[in-house]
Structure 1
Amino acid sequence: MSKARKLRQWQQSCVAKALDYLLLQDGREFLISAAPASGKTTAAIEIAVPLMERGEIETVIVIAPKTDVVNDWATDFQSRTGQTMTKITGIDKDVLSWGTHFCTTWSSVQNLSDEMREICRTKKVLLIADEQHHAAMEASWGMGAQEGGDEAKFVLILTGTPVRSDGAETVWLALDENGSVAHPYEGTFSLTYGQAVDAGYCRPITFHRHVGKFSVQLDNKTRVEVGSEQETKIPKEYERIPGLKNALEFAKLIKQPAFFPHGSDLPDMSGYQASMLREGVAQLEKTRFRMPNAGGLVIANTIEMADYMAKILEKLEGEKPVIVNSKLPNADKKIAAFRRGKQKWLVSVSMVSEGTDITRLRVLVYLPNASTELYFRQAMGRVIRTKDSDDDTRAYVVMPNLNLFDEYARRVEDELPPRFKNESKPKTKKCSVCHTENALSASHCCECAEPFEGRKPEPPATVSCPACGEKTPKNKRNCTHCGENLSAEFVLSLKEAMRSGVIVRGMDINEEDAVKGVEIAEGLRGKLLTSGDSKLVDIVRQLPDESWGRLAQMMENATRPFNA
């Protein structure tokens, strides 16, 4: 077994309290509720080690959120104990003969309950439930964990959010009448985000609420203004269109990619998402003064949006970002390579969330499909991990100006100690090779002559203030010179505004049909929308212009026998 690690103060206290509760107070379930990135994995392994050395347990089983997190557990466990932790999946059988220690994902547990039960009956087991909120009592994952792990000798419950967003009870944790966790104080160790920042375990964070205003073109004469700070007013003649008001919500429009010129696959570099990414690029450049290999993470709501934002980033940065999603192969390997590399951006759709350890991430551009506080805090946790004792960086989140996100952000900000609430600008920059401090204007390191990155990211788009005439970044709420209220305006067509999911591209449509389709759609869309027929409206929402010619041809062919 390798030499014991140097533990943080909270980890030392946590290990001592856990061992006292499990060994001297006859406790079984011990809860570690600690801020994301504070070091829960290390604490749990350090609790397991003395339990193994004293013969209190023979086997450790870990249940974690995702495959890459499971891999990290196996690596960390072997590094500390010298023993192999075998990774198992829901299709594996008779795993008892495979090894001594095991790790798996929550999604696999529902099919492993028999195997887990057999291990717990024949061995003295410590079960570690990482991010335990996945196990709702009525969910199949939770039931699988409960059935399989009910006979474990000890259970360690690790979480940054002990209560699920849906309020459901989770395995091994009950809720009181107020919805709070009802777990014995003696069997609980808590560390808030504010405490973790104050101790230097996590980085302080700044939230940028990204404002904007969309101008949606309903027809040749009518536009509707949709903003993050104003109520949308639909013209009377359009009020009876089913779903229109629902579609013209700021929270939905920000998740719709816009292309320019219209009909192309070129991202609109003056669009809302581009303005968010410009802000993220600027913050990452500033952060790399202090951490030369700092990276940024984009969390997108769909695979289509991830690809769209990746194209924008490539234009802004001059390098392709790493993209990971459920449809691309080797996502775990790409995440691992990004963790070790120097690429600037990682673009993800629900692939980089809880437990994923990429210490160099510092900037998050947040445009997810999920809207819960649980997911918000998990995403935030990806960019707040302290790298080392010299880390003086600050984490930065660029997010839409939505009331719900603002509430979450304010609760996080309220946790921060006063001395961390104000952001300070870097005064020097570090060399990536020798780490010598240099002037911000330096082109080469004064110590080792290593060149600094010469290319500057594209500056934010600006607008002229109508009050004073001075230029102000387009994404700012107020004029930076006179304070005049400003709001960036992003123009969308009605078709773009009413997109639902992915518009089919790459269809085998010839040029003649495509041109004909665009001509038909142009004149027919408005008539269909104002008809009030919900079925026709659904057609409008789903069909790209280019496919209307094919639809017209099919309808014509279908009616020929009746007209003959």
Structure 2
Amino acid sequence: MNIKLRPWQIEAHQKAMDWLVHMKKDRHFLINAAPGAGKTLAACAIAKTLLDSEEITRVIVIAPRTQVVTQWADDFTRVTGLHMGKVTAKDGELGALDMDICATWSAIQGLWPELQAVCKSSNVLVICDEHHHAAVEAAWGESAGGAFETAKYVLVLTGTPIRSDGAESVWLAYDDSGAISHPEDGTYTLTYGDAVELGYCRPITFHKHQGKFTVDLGGEEVKVSGDTESSLPKNLARIPGLQTALDFYKLAKTPQYVTGTEKPLMTGYQASMIESGIEKLDQLRLTMPEAGGLVIAPNIEVAEFMASLLENLDGERPLIVHSQLANPEDKIKQFRNTTRRWLVSVAMVSEGVDIRRLRVLIYLPNALTELAFRQAMGRVVRTDSYDDCSRAYVVMPAFKTFEKYAKRVEAEMSPAHRVDPGPPKKKICPNCGETHPLSTTECECGYEFPVEAKIKQIKKCVSCGALNLRHAETCHACGKSFSTEFTLTLEEALRVGAIVRGMELDECEVQGSEEMAPELKRLILKSGDQHLIRFLKTVPEESYSRLGRMLDEVRFGKL
């Protein structure tokens, strides 16, 4: 074996062998491990043992995204020494049938006959990554259930085993509460708290970013915050969509521009989130010089907006990845292999993608599910190849839904790991690795530390002058809140970003839409049908997957 497995991976490997090969009680084995703990390498090790012992002759992996397919192929080759073919939705065909393959969930929908034939003619191990995608009643679940019905073994991987919609996934049994009820001997579980305690994942700190919006309704003002309900004056309560628009999280997702221009407002709510993320990344890079930050945006407009804010506030243009840009996989790989500071994404780096140097997450997504929350959190808790002693940090709106999820995650960690140690006391030279006091301006190797890396640890209360810790939410002396108020006009509150694109789509729908968007656009434009082209321009691409599912329900309902 070409890699050194972690103790938990060795234990999972042995338990899988006992269950699948020696006990032969069931062909399914479940690994339920926290995002970032290393499920992929554990699964590749199990596959290698089954291949070497001739229990299987083929491996087929199903993964959620194109980027994850590439990672799977690379890791499989590194562990087994065998080539793994890659199949995505845009490929449209299985390719060579005599090799191990990794396919996206959406790709297998059109490959039922070929995959069924492979499973009937060979002893196949199916590795089902991010199993929550395979809901029994959904198209992807039906595809997987039919295509791999005769597979010899099925290895199910998940870090978030319960879907937010309560739907059950294929291959596994569930109890009355909706939790997976697979036999204990056929399951290996590693919680996030366990992973942190054992050093497989980083402890995490959630910065709940406060803010209050004042919406000017033409002479009357409405206050909106994350911890109080807003109420409209009676004379305005009948304005269509207004009450919906005056939702704290929708306002938090609405870009704020300088009046009369398309320039991002440097004093707006999103700018203040960015500033908090920059400050935390600056601190982390003192002891981990290559540390990076990730912004998850709700849609392409906000992604471009956040990128502009980052460029203005941090001085470096971030990399952006979304479905309308060419070669997003190459951009993600480029970011992974450099020391660039920020990556901005629309759902493309929220699940399965492994960029180990990510440490800061600015979280402003469309999906509001706990499943999506934990998957996104998994991008910044992964450990690196050495002990950098860093924590993971999430900057998120002070929104009740996110706070509820964060408290559950924090409860999984031991009390010692819940405590944020604060700003670093020393810094590391990125050139030679030597450690220095924070006051050092130049390393013996000749490297000059940037002046802006000085850490601001205190802030002064404007009411009483007392000094407070940098991230204090209220003054310890007079109790004044440090949360900032942001003023919006009625027009800004009713922006497209707040209502029309404010559909609550879950992570699977967003990712499925991104998979199908390029090909759907190509086919519609190729048709020349002006009605369909107008439709294409008016429907947000994030909703394509939901629309497709509705069409399937209508079509199959008539059969």
- Read off the aligned partner of 2:227 and give its amino acid letter: E
2:387, 2:310 → 1: CA distance?
A: 29
Contact 2:296 2:363 (8 Å CA) reproduced: yes
Instruction: Name 1:551's counterpart in structure 2.
Output: none
Q: 1:173 — aligned with what?
A: 172
- Helix, strand or coil for the counterpart of 1:190? strand
Conserved? CA contact 2:253–2:498, under 8 Å: no
Runs (4+) off by over 4 Å: 90-94, 456-464, 469-476
Shift of residue 444 of structure 1? 2.0
Question: How far does residue 454 in structure 1 lie from its aligned partner after superposition?
Answer: 3.2
Decide whether aligned partners of structure 1 residues 6 and 393 sit closer, same or farther in structure 2, where only a CA change above 3 A counts: same
Question: What residue in structure 2 maps to residue 325 of structure 1?
Answer: 322
SS of the aligned residue for 2:110 comes to coil
Tell me, in whole angstroms, the C-alpha distance in 2 between the residues paired with 1:474 and 1:238: 39
Structure 2 counterpart of 1:249, which letter? D
Q: Residues of 2 paired with 1:459 and 1:264: CA distance?
A: 32
Measure how far apart 1:321 and its partner are: 0.5
Residues 202-231 of structure 1 deviation map (CA, whole Å, 9 limit, x = unaligned): 000000111110111111x22111112222
**What secondary structure, in the 3-state scheme, does the structure 2 residue paired with 1:288 have?**
helix
Instruction: Report if the CA contact (8 A) 2:244-2:499 is conserved.
Output: no
Match of 2:487 in 1: 491
**Alpha-carbon distance in structure 1 between the residues aligned to 2:118 and 2:435:** 55
Would you say the 8 A contact 1:465–1:486 is kept in 2?
no
Q: What's the counterpart of residue 216 of structure 1?
A: 215
- Describe the shift of the 1:94–1:359 C-alpha distance in structure 2 as closer, same or farther (beyond 3 A): closer
Asked whether the equivalents of residues 292 and 342 of structure 2 are also in contact (C-alpha less than 8 Å), the reply is: yes
Deviations 1:466-485 (Å, cap 9, x if unpaired)? 4x155879985312553323
1:392 is aligned to 2:392 = no
Which residue pairs with 2:186 in the alignment? 187
For the 8 Å contact 1:267–1:308, the answer to whether it is kept is: yes
2:70 aligned with 1:74: no
Equivalenced residue count is 499
Of the three residues 218, 226, 229, the one matched with 1:228 is 226
DSSP-derived class of the 2:253 partner: coil
Letter in 2 for 1:7: L
Aligned to 2:313: 316
Letter in 1 for 2:485: E
Q: Find the aligned partners of 2:337 and 2:6 in 1 and give their Cα distance.
A: 24
For 1:172 and 1:156, the matched residues in 2 are separated by: 10
| Offset at residue 93 of structure 1 (A) | 7.1
| Match status 1:439 vs 2:437 | yes
Cα distance per residue 1:367-395 (max 9 Å; x no partner): 00000000000000000001023220000
* 1:104 maps to 2:86: no
1:263 aligns with 2:255: no
Say whether the 8 Å CA contact 1:271–1:490 is kept in structure 2: yes
Query: Alignment partner of 1:189: what SS?
Result: strand
Q: Which residue of 1 aligns with 2:554?
A: none
* Alignment CA distance shift 1:374-1:174 (3 Å): same
User: 1:477 corresponds to which residue?
Assistant: 473
Q: Which moved more, 1:426-435 or 1:286-295?
A: 426-435
More displaced, 292-301 or 236-245? 236-245
**Letter aligned with residue 362 of structure 2:** V
Q: Partner of 2:374 in structure 1?
A: 377
Alignment of 1:467-546 (within 5 A): 468-469=464-465, 477-479=473-475, 481-501=477-497
SS of 1:254's partner is helix
Mark the CA change 1:94 to 1:373 in structure 2 (over 3 Å): closer, same or farther: closer
Q: CA RMSD in A?
A: 2.3
CA distance in 2, matches of 1:227, 1:432: 41
Structure 2 counterpart of 1:25: 23
Match of 1:355 in 2: 352
1:345 aligns with 2:342: yes
Question: Structure 1 502/167 Cα, relative in aligned 2: closer, same or farther at 3 Å?
Answer: closer
Q: How many Å apart are 1:89 and its aligned residue?
A: 3.3
Match of 2:527 in 1: none
The question of whether the paired residues in 2 share the 8 Å contact of 1:90 and 1:112 is answered with: no
Q: Deviation string for 1:513-535 (max 9, x for gaps)?
A: xxxxxxxxxxxxxxxxxxxxxxx
Does the aligned pair in 2 maintain the 1:476–1:488 contact within 8 Å? no
Distance 2:44 2:60 in 1: 11
Q: Are residues 196 and 473 of structure 1, via their aligned partners in 2, closer, same or farther at CA, if it must alter by over 3 Å?
A: closer
Judge conservation of contact 2:93–2:111 (CA < 8 Å) in 1.
no
Identify unmatched segments of 5+ residues in structure 2. 501-537, 539-559
1:52 equivalenced with 2:51 (yes/no): yes
Aligned to 2:41: 42
Check conservation: 1:15, 1:43, Cα contact below 8 A. yes
Contact 2:120 2:150 in 1 (8 A): yes
From the superposition, tell whether residues 324 and 163 of structure 1 become closer, same or farther in structure 2 (CA, over 3 Å): same
Does the 8 A contact of 1:324 with 1:331 survive in 2? yes
SS class of match (2:140): helix
- What percent of counterpart residues are identical? 50
Distance 1:503 1:409, change over 3 A: closer
SS of 1:327's equivalent in the other structure is coil
Does the residue aligned with 1:251 lie in a helix, a strand or coil? Answer: helix
Structure-2 change in CA distance of 1:94 and 1:313 (3 Å): closer
**Residue type of the alignment partner of 2:311:** E
Structure 1 window deviating more from structure 2 (404-413 vs 417-426): it is: 417-426
Supply the distance in 2 between the matched residues of 1:485 and 1:204 (Cα, whole angstroms).
28
Distance 1:476 1:257, change over 3 A: farther
| Counterpart amino acid of residue 139 in structure 1 | A
SS of match in other structure, 2:193: helix
> Contact 2:94–2:111 at 8 Å: present in 1 too?
no
Deviations along 1:384-424, whole A, 9 cap, x unmatched?
A: 00102322000000001111111100000000112211111
Aligned ranges 1:391-470 → 2 under 5 Å: 391-425=388-422, 426-446=424-444, 448-456=445-453, 465-466=462-463, 468-469=464-465
- Is the CA contact (8 Å cut-off) linking 1:89 and 1:104 kept in structure 2? yes
Mark the CA change 1:267 to 1:244 in structure 2 (over 3 Å): closer, same or farther.
same
Judge conservation of contact 1:316–1:457 (CA < 8 Å) in 2: no
Judge conservation of contact 2:284–2:291 (CA < 8 Å) in 1.
Answer: yes
* TM-score, reference length from structure 1: 0.85
Residue of structure 2 in register with 1:237 after alignment: 235
Residues 67-100 of structure 1: CA distance to partner in whole angstroms, max 9, x if unpaired? 1110011111111222110112346677474542
- Alpha-carbon distance in 2 for matches of 1:89, 1:99: 18
Cross-structure match for 1:11: 9
> Which amino acid letter does the alignment assign opposite residue 474 of structure 2?
N
CA contact (8 A) 1:74 1:84 kept: yes
Tell me by how many angstroms 1:463 deviates.
8.5
The answer for the alignment partner of 1:525 in structure 2 is: none
- Counterpart AA for 2:109: Q
Match of 2:545 in 1: none
Deviation at 1:503, TM superposition (A): 11
Q: Is the 8 A contact 2:286 2:453 kept in 1?
A: no
SS at match of 2:360: strand
Cα 1:287/1:480, change in 2 over 3 Å: farther
Distance 1:481 1:310, change over 3 A: farther
Quick one: structure 1 residues 230 and 502, their matched pair in 2 at CA, closer, same or farther if it must change by over 3 Å?
A: closer
Partner Cα separation in structure 2 for residue 364 and residue 286 of structure 1: 14
User: 2:202 is matched with which residue?
Assistant: 203
Q: What secondary structure does 1:44 align onto?
A: helix
Change (3 A) 1:96 1:322: closer
- Structure 1 residues 324, 461: CA separation in 2 closer, same or farther (over 3 Å shift)? farther
Equivalent-residue separation in structure 1 for 2:103 and 2:113 (angstroms): 14
Task: Give the structure 2 partner of residue 135 of structure 1.
Answer: 134
Counterpart contact for 1:317–1:457, Cα < 8 Å: no
The answer to which of 75-84 and 94-103 deviates more is: 94-103
